[in-house]
Structure 1
Amino acid sequence: MITNLYVITAISVIGGALFGFDLSSMSAIIGTNQYRCYFNQGPHGPPFNDSPNCSGPTSTVQGGITASMPGGSFVGSLISGILSDWFGRKSSIQIGSVIWVIGSAISCAAQNYPMLIVGRFINGVCVGICSAQVPVYVSELAPPNRRGLVVGTQQWAITWGILIMFYVSYGCSFMSGPAAFRIPWGIQMLPAFILIVGLFWLPESPRWLARNDRWEECQQILQLIHSGKHGSDDFVSLEMRQLREACDDERLHSDVSFRELIEPKMLWRVHIGMFVQIWSQLTGINVIMYYITFVFGMAGLSGNSNLVASSISYVINVIMTIPTLFLVDRIGRRVILLSASVSLTVWWFICAGLMGGYGHAAPPGGIDNVPEESWSITGGPAKVVIACSYLVVASFAPSWGPISWVYPPELFPLRLRGKAVALATSSNWIFNFALSYYTPPAFVNIKWKTYLIFGVFCFAMTVHVFFCFPETAGRTLEEVDAALNSNTPAWRTRVGKRSLNVDSSGSNEIEPNNITDNSEKDVTNSDAAHVEKV
């Protein structure tokens, strides 16, 4: 059994990479002539041909094709909580991986767009399961000072999946006929096979084991992960004690269900967990990720130059995610989210102002027969729009990207975590679905004003985060639960720090981990040895 936390994380987050593979394969393929001709609904098809005049699917159908994946993810994320509670975190991820293989096979063999939609919907069910349960699984294994790092790696895996598959799809775009898109959709099955096999060597979540009264296995895994093979340390003892208290509390709530999530005591947390996922979509990032070829087409790029320029955004996405992995546990969640939402507001409003002030409507039918490219801007303003598109990615990647996965599992007690995170993640996917579906028609109908909408969303999220999102960094999951029950205003919360006192009798006592400004406590007992838990 593999017990190194970073190896466990590296294998687990392949589930996140699957979403990245699907996202960029569609982004790179929708602009190719092979795709547009095979699924053509314009005046030159069907029947399908290689005419350079192929306009591809209508904007509504293309929106449906793209949105089918997040539509399936919405369903998958909702059922993932039940699967996770019944079969375990690890097994639910494996189930999702099998579903991915089925969906990818159908997409690869698609003969028409309804078959493609079905395949992508099935892929989405896997993405919904994995996106909800991989963060839960990894967060339940990680110590507080590494939780943001390892859970945030989920987003880094997504960015790598996007980058790798984009270049695979770009390379295949030089092939003729349907092979240009069938090969990428077939290749994306391979990581799922790696994930299915790799999970057999990983431990189950110790918190899920504790919840099912498998205490010996729970303690063994905690010891192997947090203190090596020989004996236990004070942190393992602390976690075991907190887990027993959490499970004792759960026995008092034996009728745990989704209904408890809408009770007044828990509803506030649910709204925060859902909105960190909703706002991550309303940043507008998937306008860039899915439809960047349309955005750059309106800015005057076409053909290979458009695809190469689009790929730069994916490189930025990978690189800019890295700093947060090492900072999120040090400086906390709030400051990162707030600074990013302010910068995103600026970039979207600049884009909207330039597009509205210096652009003009494209000819009927859109630029190069692409109806979504309904607006045209050239010269210096076009270059600024391209630069601001990159800056949107650079602002999202180190902030809302990773933290939207880190944050929800921290907000809920053990008995509700699987279901609550599933519900929070489902809100991500239903908004992803809506944006994926409506963005192409929005480009056609309201044109540059699409940018203005996302600027308003980013301003609204800044206000919401400041007043409602508490800081959760630096605490065990059980301590976060206790701190959230204290009703401290969100803007007064700080990164937690812990002091562990070991007295001369050998017993140990954890100093209270205050969630307010006064988060550090002085240790006055001269007989106590002070050990800082970083």
Structure 2
Amino acid sequence: MTSILLGYDIGVMSGAAIYIKKDLKISDVELEVLVGIINLYSLFGAAAAGRTSDWIGRRYTIVLAGAIFFVGALLMGFATNYAFLMVGRFVAGIGVGYALMIAPVYTSELSPASYRGFLSSFPEVFINGGVLLGYVSNYAFSKLPLQLGWRMMLGISAIPSVLLAVGVLAMPESPRWLVMQGRLGDARKVLDKTSNSKDEAALRLADIKEAAGIPQECNDDVVRVEKRSHGEGVWRELFLHPTPTVRHILICAIGIHFFQQASGIDAVVLYSPRIFEKAGITSDDDKLLATVAVGFSKTIFILVATFLLDRIGRRPLILSSMGGMILSLATLGFSLTVIDHSHVKLPWAVGLAITTVLSFVGFFAIGMGPIAWVYSSEIFPLKLRAQGASMGVAMNRLVSGVVGMTFLSLYKAITIGGAFFLFTGVAIVSWVFFYTMFPETQGKTLEEMEVLFGNFNWLRDSKRKKRNSQLVSNSNGNSDGSGNDQLGAVSKPETN
């Protein structure tokens, strides 16, 4: 539900912007600020959500996110002018920031390791579902009078925020947050409900207690005097005096969110009607229908990704996803450049542009989209998780806001094809970053992550694998003619 709220706002604004511009008589610069500013506003919500969730719990933070977004949706729906609309965007942005940070953290903390990738990818699934609903809402409400249509598009999102705030009260609290508060009995009950067996629940509880610094012999009766945490000292451990492992984790969490947005996904989703217009589609209805196709493509591929995350792992998916995005962005830039420089309509170039928009969002959805949320919510140590994840989300929203607020000006400055060639370059850099920095986390418990990142060194591991393959080759095929291996006593290669 939190993700549907965000996705709906992204999707609906891409179409509503057409009618807001006509009704309020605003410029392109004012329009791109209106579209992108919610992401900068959500910075405040994302940054505050980590400490809030450490203080009041993951569940009540979700309730708070829903309540804030409800107020923002009503303000946008009843906006009478540009300034009023911007106030509504500010309030809704705070709610979006809270929701973006807390949903993946809550899900990862509740999930067993064997299903965590599948379940933690749901936020991205429903962001896509929300985007698609936004596109459908654009098409449905576009038939209303101009002054009413876009207000209905924006205001109707108040309904799911109410369902969210009420529904979440029936959900359990995060067992890891309960342990941090010393509430072992409550944590044990939640783990019994969310594990495959009592034995698995007991093992998960033991791991969480160890990560939280609570002695294993501590039982439910004396836990009230044990360690409680509301997030004190986290900033010092994250930024001022981090260990090499924590620094590596922080770089990965912030980096994946930076590259997720800097590779241009919001430019495509938010401004897809403008891209299709550049490609030669002039009718408003046709542009909205084309954006619905974008939403369908994104949703279908994200559903595929949810089933692959726990089967083939995070690392192969994100590298192949980025490879496809690089190819799509380069082809999109080429086709739009050809269209821009042609004086006649070229059907093949128009078809290529539309196809590569669909392939770009598809490749994004199958890897980069969900893995950013899954990865950043699962890699931090328990004490640092909420506030560390909030830093990743803050970076996500910052870059998303910059892209959303500058895309129209960017493509006017360097052409629309040039803008996508720029995104191609960013995507290439991101592929190298993921290849060199990211260990595989598939099947690892949250409590194992610190050891995993502490031991990961791609250069050392690649050299070791190369050396091992050479040893195997020598031992299998190289002899000195006397029937003895040249390796002499080395009969078995070193293994990783």
User: 1:379: how far off?
Assistant: 2.5
Aligned to 1:382: 350
Matches within 5 A, 1:311-390: 311-360=292-341, 378-390=346-358
Q: 1:239 aligns with which of 196, 204, 217?
A: 204
User: 1:377: how far off?
Assistant: 6.2
Aligned to 1:179: 148
Matches within 5 A, 1:1-400: 14-32=1-19, 35-40=20-25, 57-227=26-196, 233-248=198-213, 255-262=232-239, 263-265=241-243, 266-303=246-283, 304-360=285-341, 378-400=346-368
Determine the C-alpha separation between the residues in 2 that align with 1:491 and 1:388: 37
User: 1:178: how far off?
Assistant: 1.2
Query: Secondary structure at 2:146's aligned position in 1?
Result: coil
User: 1:283: how far off?
Assistant: 2.2
Query: Secondary structure at 2:194's aligned position in 1?
Result: helix
Gaps (5+ residues) in structure 2? 216-226, 463-493
User: 1:378: how far off?
Assistant: 3.6
Could you list the per-position Cα deviations for residues 160-204 of structure 1 after superposition, in whole angstroms to 9, with x for gaps in the alignment? 111112112211111113111111212111111111110110000
Q: CA separation of 1:142/1:160 partners in 2, compared to 1, >3 Å: closer, same or farther?
A: same
Per mean C-alpha deviation after superposition, the further-off stretch among 160-169 and 290-299 is 160-169
8 Å CA contact 2:248, 2:453 repeated in 1: no
Give me the TM-score of the superposition, normalised by structure 2.
0.87
Aligned to 2:387: 419
Query: Secondary structure at 1:397's aligned position in 2?
Result: helix
Determine the C-alpha separation between the residues in 2 that align with 1:122 and 1:331: 40
Determine the C-alpha separation between the residues in 1 that align with 2:158 and 2:461: 46
Query: Secondary structure at 1:30's aligned position in 2?
Result: helix
* Counterpart AA for 2:181: N
Determine the C-alpha separation between the residues in 1 that align with 2:337 and 2:32: 24
Determine the C-alpha separation between the residues in 2 that align with 1:491 and 1:337: 21
Query: Secondary structure at 1:129's aligned position in 2?
Result: helix
* Counterpart AA for 1:225: T
Query: Secondary structure at 2:310's aligned position in 1?
Result: helix
Aligned to 2:482: none
Q: CA separation of 1:31/1:518 partners in 2, compared to 1, >3 Å: closer, same or farther?
A: farther
Q: Percent identity?
A: 26
Could you list the per-position Cα deviations for residues 248-269 of structure 1 after superposition, in whole angstroms to 9, with x for gaps in the alignment? 1796998522121123412221
8 Å CA contact 2:279, 2:350 repeated in 1: yes
More helix by share: 2
Count of aligned positions? 448
Aligned to 2:448: 479
8 Å CA contact 1:24, 1:162 repeated in 2: yes
Aligned to 1:401: 369
User: 1:444: how far off?
Assistant: 2.1
User: 1:29: how far off?
Assistant: 1.4
Give me the TM-score of the superposition, normalised by structure 1.
0.81
User: 1:31: how far off?
Assistant: 2.3
Determine the C-alpha separation between the residues in 2 that align with 1:490 and 1:81: 34
Query: Secondary structure at 1:76's aligned position in 2?
Result: helix
Determine the C-alpha separation between the residues in 2 that align with 1:277 and 1:458: 13
Consecutive aligned runs of 4 or more in structure 1 exceeding 2 Å deviation: 249-257, 353-362, 376-379, 485-493
8 Å CA contact 2:278, 2:336 repeated in 1: no
8 Å CA contact 2:110, 2:174 repeated in 1: yes
Say yes or no: does 1:436 pair with 2:404: yes
* Counterpart AA for 1:349: A
8 Å CA contact 1:96, 1:129 repeated in 2: yes
Determine the C-alpha separation between the residues in 1 that align with 2:280 and 2:347: 9
Q: CA separation of 1:249/1:338 partners in 2, compared to 1, >3 Å: closer, same or farther?
A: farther
User: 1:361: how far off?
Assistant: 8.6
Could you list the per-position Cα deviations for residues 124-146 of structure 1 after superposition, in whole angstroms to 9, with x for gaps in the alignment? 11111111111110101100111
8 Å CA contact 1:69, 1:120 repeated in 2: yes
* Counterpart AA for 1:327: L
* Counterpart AA for 2:9: D
Matches within 5 A, 1:486-501: 486-489=455-458, 492=461
8 Å CA contact 1:18, 1:127 repeated in 2: yes
